[in-house]
Amino acid sequence: MNIDKNKETGSVEKVYTFRVSLVNYEGIYRDISILGSQTFDDFHYAIFDAFDRWDEQSYKFTTKTDEIIDDFCGDKDSELDVEKTKIFRQKLEVGEHMTYLFDFADQWEHDIELLSIVPDDGKGDYPALVNSHGDSPAQYEENEDDDYEDDYDFTELTQKRYSVRKFLRDEVCKEDIDGILKVAHNAPTACNKQPQRIYVVKTAQGKDKIKRCTECHFNAPLFFVVCYDKNEAWHRSFDGQDYGMVDCSLSMMQMMLKVQELGLGSCFVAWFDPVKLRSELELPENIIPVGILPVGYPADDSIPNKMHTEKRPMTEMAIEM
Ligand SMILES: Cc1cc2nc3c(=O)[nH]c(=O)nc-3n(C[C@H](O)[C@H](O)[C@H](O)COP(=O)(O)O)c2cc1C
């Protein structure tokens, strides 16, 4: 028999067979065999294919002792990188369970049980799907937006957006507010720290508070005050650079585009008195305000400020090397 040796340990290569079951979906599971010397990243792709997924998302495995994750920051002692962590390193025992979470937004939870560990005879190709039970649910639910996405022109959306500084009095409905918050929530953040804290200001009393802090309130019917928690933001270890402001800016950009898509208008406002804002909104010391986003329906005579079209030549911005 052709017995392979694990190159790292010199011991006999082993085949681990796991049962990966979808939590909350009874009876849907896949049995996957993988070599001990293969990584959790290899395991992830085997699960990805076995459940007919097509859109890559973040994921993590959680064992008794460790979190093995794909957007590895190395912040915690228990955190390991999927690409560097081999299956055998976890010292798993038959019957032991771990979890696998795929897509931190849609939260596909899986329970994984180790069914067997046997010596590798060198004949198989791994990872391998060895048993499949139940149809995998679609990665995303079909929704009405799908047709829209097909002929959706992103560049056009960015061109249509301009800073709106004159609004109608009409209120923004809850559904639209939720839609705007959703894209802020979807935005990327440094090391996925998600330090943004967004205050939604829609009461008359709240709006008066904003008006006392900035002239750039434009009498909007709604404000988002986008802040971050400086204790949660990622700091680059080389120089301590705080990325909270970048995280907030990325959320705000997505919010402005969503606002545009909804037929509303907005303007990024940095011209506010931060000391007054802190005291008016009673912001704790660790909460740093980055921008205010007045939002509402643009007034009928709202037009872009001339700055909107004053663009430096592309050659000045894009530098070929
Ligand atoms: C970080 C940042 C801060 C800004 N602050 C203000 C502000 O306090 N008040 C204001 O009226 N516009 C503000 N703006 C809007 C800019 O003036 C505007 O984006 C720029 O002139 C281009 O015009 P456009 O947004 O219509 O394309 C800000 C924009 C950014 C990105």
- The predicted-structure confidence for 84-135, as pLDDT tens digits, reads as follows 999 999 999 999 999 999 988 788 999 999 999 999 999 999 999 999 999 9
Has this prediction a pTM greater than 0.75? no
- Nearest-CA residue for ligand 1 atom 13 is 269
| pLDDT > 90? residue 5 | no
- The predicted-structure confidence for 280-292, as pLDDT tens digits, reads as follows 999 999 999 999 9
Query: What SS3 string covers the chain?
Result: CCCCECCCCCCECEEEEEEEEECCCCCCEEEEEEECCCEHHHHHHHHHHHCCCCCCCCEEEECCCCEEECCCCCCCCCEEECCCCEHHHHCCCCCCEEEEEECCCCCEEEEEEEEEEEECCCCCCCCEEEEEECCCCCCCCCCCHHHHHHCCCHHHHHHHCCECCCECCCCCCHHHHHHHHHHHHHCCCHHHCCCEEEEEECCHHHHHHHHCCCCCCCCCCEEEEEEEECCCCCECCCCCCECHHHHHHHHHHHHHHHHHHCCCEECCECCCCHHHHHHHCCCCCCEEEEEEEEEECECCCCCCCHHHCCCCCHHHHCCCC
- Nearest-CA residue for ligand 1 atom 22 is 308
- CB 271: neighbour CB atoms within 10 A? 11
State the Cα–Cα distance between residues 256 and 261, nearest whole angstrom. 9
- Calculate what percentage of the chain has a pLDDT beyond 70: 93
pLDDT at 53: 95
pLDDT at 295: 98
Residues lining ligand 1, Cβ inside 6 A: 162-163, 165, 216, 267-271, 304-305, 307-308
Residue 162 Cα, ligand 1 centroid: separation in angstroms? 9
Work out the pLDDT band at 78, boundaries 50, 70, 90: confident
Question: Which residues, in sequence order, are bridge partners of residue 291?
Answer: 226
Mean pLDDT, all residues of the chain: 93
Q: Which atom of ligand 1 is nearest to the CA of 292?
A: 8
pLDDT at 1: 45
- The predicted-structure confidence for 221-244, as pLDDT tens digits, reads as follows 999 999 999 999 999 999 999 999
Domains of the chain, first to last: 14-133 (3.10.290.30), 147-317 (3.40.109.10)
Residue 178 Cα, ligand 1 centroid: separation in angstroms? 24
- Nearest-CA residue for ligand 1 atom 7 is 269
State the Cα–Cα distance between residues 67 and 112, nearest whole angstrom. 14
- Nearest-CA residue for ligand 1 atom 19 is 163
